[in-house]
Amino acid sequence: MNKKSDAVTRIYLQEMVEDIPFDRLPVNWNAFDLGAFSHTKTLWDYQRKAVENAIKALWKYYEDFHDYQTGENAAANRERKQKFFQWYRNNGLDEALDIPLAKDHRLARLLGEYYPVADDT
Give the pLDDT means over successive 10-residue stretches in the chain (121 positions). 50 89 94 83 91 96 90 92 90 74 81 78 56
Instruction: Specify the amino acid at residue 40.
Output: T
Q: What is the pLDDT of residue 10?
A: 65
Q: Whole-angstrom Cα distance, residue 54 to residue 38?
A: 18
DSSP H helices, 60-99, are 74-90
Q: Whole-angstrom Cα distance, residue 91 to residue 105?
A: 32
Q: What DSSP element (H or E) covers 22?
A: none
Q: What is the pLDDT of residue 2?
A: 46
- For the stretch 7-13, contacts whose Cβ atoms lie closer than 8 Å and that sit 24 or more positions apart, written own/partner, are 7/93, 7/95, 7/97, 8/97, 8/99, 12/88, 12/91, 12/92, 12/93, 13/53, 13/57, 13/88
